[in-house]
Amino acid sequence: MANYRSTDWFGKRDKMGFIYRSWMKNQGMPEDMFDGRPVIGICNTWSELTPCNAHLRDIAESVRRGVLEAGGFPVEFPIMSLGETLLKPTAMLFRNLASMDTEESIRGNPIDGVVLLTGCDKTTPSTLMGAASVDLPTIVVQGGPMLNGKYKGHDIGSGTNVWTFTDDLKTGKMSYAEFTEAESCMSRSPGHCMTMGTASTMACMVEALGMSLSGGAAIPAVDSRRKRIAQLSGRRIVEMVKEDLKMSKILTRSAFENAIKVNAAVGGSSNFVIHLTAIAGRMGVELNLEDFDNLGSKMPLLVNLMPSGKYLMEDFYYAGGLPAVLKQMSGQLDMDVLTVTGQSHKQNIETAGVVYNEEVIFPFDKPVIAEAGIAVVKGNLALNGAVIKPSAATPALMQHRGRAVVFENIEDYHARVDDPNLDIDETCVMVLKCVGPVGYPGMPEVGNMTLPKKVLAKGVTDMVRISDGRMSGTAFGTVILHVSPESAIGGNLGLVQNGDMIELDVANKRLHLEVTDEELAERRKNWVAPPLASERGYVNLYVNTVLQADKGADLDFLVGGSGSEVLRDSH
């Protein structure tokens, strides 16, 4: 009989063995489930408060079927689920908490291999981070995107059209009745946002890393092939346990480099930077902002999906999905890396990877945009760097010099942005402070500030915006994000004043505040740190230990892993 990790529980022939097995038998498990077969944890982020993951109980049943077919013992368990739309103050505040839940739930239980069921933005990185710190054989089953939104004969995309509808409501182009009607037209099936927002980005990241079966990223949540891949993943994880194919054998430096390049090709979210860095940190692979710029910024955009392009995830799936992108990008990628199939990307896509619609997936030599990956800018305004997603920006604003209009925090922004007396026009640079990891806390997705009403009324759709926060992966605009160090801990962003001139030059990777070092030193003397909401509980732990955005915003003591050994055995 094979000696798996779970044998330390269910293989015992003493009092504790009795206890471990007997209580499990209250669920009706027959004796032979404890005969030394691999125990597979189905880590479920299902929650009705995470609408994007509300179908995952159903998907778990397909995984369970696959595990049983392959001779494994499936055990489903819940972990903290992070719903992007409902959770306040921001789901990102709890990504690291959910990762701790995942890590300790896996390590403390008789589990030999893990299936992560993910969907909404933060449920993917949180579970991957937690699982990486344990390093068991692990496979991801993505929940899949919603069907395309349909409104008045047109396709509409999650998130992306929320921004345009909000502008239209503000300027009177849309009535409130139309606005509410559009809500149900946008979200008309189970699944996550069907634009190339953060959830789709994470789904593609997982597949590019080799952590899901080939083709797993794009299948719509309600397509029967979603259940099929879940069942096949259930079968496969049992084999992975027998092969001892741990996460660390898949998540190598080359796998992370592949993911960075693929993220450019799919037009993935700027949030990708923060999450991939955090996952790499758990795996002991060092990634820094320069890696994203060096590896990704020259890569082409091939996938024509909102918010960078026109189509949606359902179209992407029918056009060939990620296998087709991998094939187009194969000259740029390390196609020999190992994946959860036990084979390389090259082997996985041998008979796949066909592009069925070149309007949706462009050829490598005729891309949507030639250089589209996340770019990094640095300067006295962001000494440790900041990021921009060029594919979602306005080319004419990528080199821009403008007068700063400063909002001290998000409440100040809401209070004044539409004030007719606000001294602002489209040439200005909007600056938002105190929305970084510590300052808010949790680094909310507010960096793509809606433009002032009086600017929108002129028909202007974009301005340069700078903050230490994030933006939704479904958003667009010339938006500088993740400024590090953040304003709340004394970064120079906190010293910007109304009227200062700011120069952005993405091509030359420059973000410069035209204020002398002497003047900045003078301002620093009078700078007062904002009060932090950190009296007790998890938030206290978070603000006192969170790393800056350029380090992945993990908690400092969570970086790295502890393996699968339990700390002590009180039994």
Name the 3-class secondary structure at 113.
strand
Site for ligand FES contains 207 (CB under 6 A): no
Where do the DSSP E strands lie in 271-379?
375-379
**For ligand FES, which residue of 5, 37, 95, 192 counts as binding (CB under 6 A)?**
192
Judging by beta carbons within 10 Å of its beta carbon (0-12, 13-18, 19+), is residue 248 exposed, middle or buried? middle
Q: What is the DSSP string of 298-342?
A: TSPB-B-BTTTSSB-HHHHHHHTHHHHHHHHTTTTS-TT-B-TTS
**Min dist. Cβ of residue 160 to ligand FES (A):** 11
**Residue closer to ligand FES (CB basis): 29 or 49:** 49
Q: Are 471 and 270 in contact (CB under 8 A)?
A: yes
Q: Considering only 193-201, 300-308, 315-323, 541-549, which stretch makes contact with ligand FES by CB under 6 A?
A: 193-201
Taking the complex as a whole, the smallest distance from the CB of residue 106 to ligand FES amounts, in Å, to 24
Indicate the residue among 113 and 144 with the shorter CB distance to ligand FES.
144
Per CB under 6 A, 355 contacts ligand FES: no
Half-sphere exposure of 442 (CA within 13 A, CB side): 21
Pick 385 or 442: Cβ nearer ligand FES: 442
Binding-site residue total for ligand FES (CB under 6 A)?
10
Angle between the N-to-C axes of helices 198-209 and 123-132, in degrees from 0 to 180, rounded to the nearest 10: 30
Q: Which is nearer to ligand FES, 448 or 492 (CB)?
A: 448
Contacting residue, 7, 61, 85, 284, with ligand FES by CB under 6 A? 85
Instruction: Give the integer Cα–Cα distance in Å for 238 and 227.
Output: 17
Can you tell me which of 40, 56, 117, 120 binds ligand FES, judged by CB under 6 A? 120
Tell whether residue 149 is a contact of ligand FES (CB under 6 A). Answer: no
Place of tokens 């993910």: 118
Asked if 199 touches ligand FES (CB under 6 A), the answer is yes
**Nearer to ligand FES (CB atom), residue 199 or residue 276:** 199
**Nearer Cβ to ligand FES (120/222):** 120
| Contact letters for ligand FES, residues 154-183 (x by CB under 6 A) | ----x-------------------------
Written as one letter, the residue type at 330 is S
Amino acid at 3: N
CA distance 348 to 214: 6
Q: Which x/- pattern over 31-70 shows residues binding ligand FES (rule: CB under 6 A)?
A: ---------------------x------------------
Residue 197 in the binding site for ligand FES (CB under 6 A): yes
The minimum distance between CB 130 and ligand FES, in angstroms, equals: 19
**Closer residue to ligand FES in complex, CB, 73/311:** 311
Q: CB of residue 562 vs ligand FES: minimum separation in angstroms?
A: 30
Residue closer to ligand FES (CB basis): 110 or 197: 197
Degrees (nearest 5) of the Cα angle 492, 279, 538?
65
Under the binding rule (CB under 6 A), the answer on residue 445 touching ligand FES is: no
Q: Which residues contact 399 (CB under 8 A, 6 or more apart)?
A: 504, 505, 506, 507
Pick from 38, 42, 43, 39: nearest CA to 99: 43
Cα 144 to its chain centre, rounded Å, is: 14
Question: Which of 26-34, 60-68, 101-109, 190-198 is the region at the interface with ligand FES (rule: CB under 6 A)?
Answer: 190-198
**Residue whose CB is less far from ligand FES, 120 or 349:** 120
Contact 239, 70 (CB under 8 A): yes
Q: How many CB atoms within 10 Å of residue 183?
A: 12
Residue nearer to ligand FES on the CB measure, 202 or 301: 202
Please say whether the beta carbons of 122 and 38 come within 8 A: no
CB 431 within 8 A of CB 492: no
Q: Which of 33, 111, 147, 193 binds ligand FES (CB under 6 A)?
A: 193
End-to-end CA distance of the chain: 23
Q: H or E stretch including 184?
A: helix 176-186
Query: Which positions touch ligand FES (CB under 6 A)?
Result: 52, 84-85, 120-121, 158, 192-193, 197, 199
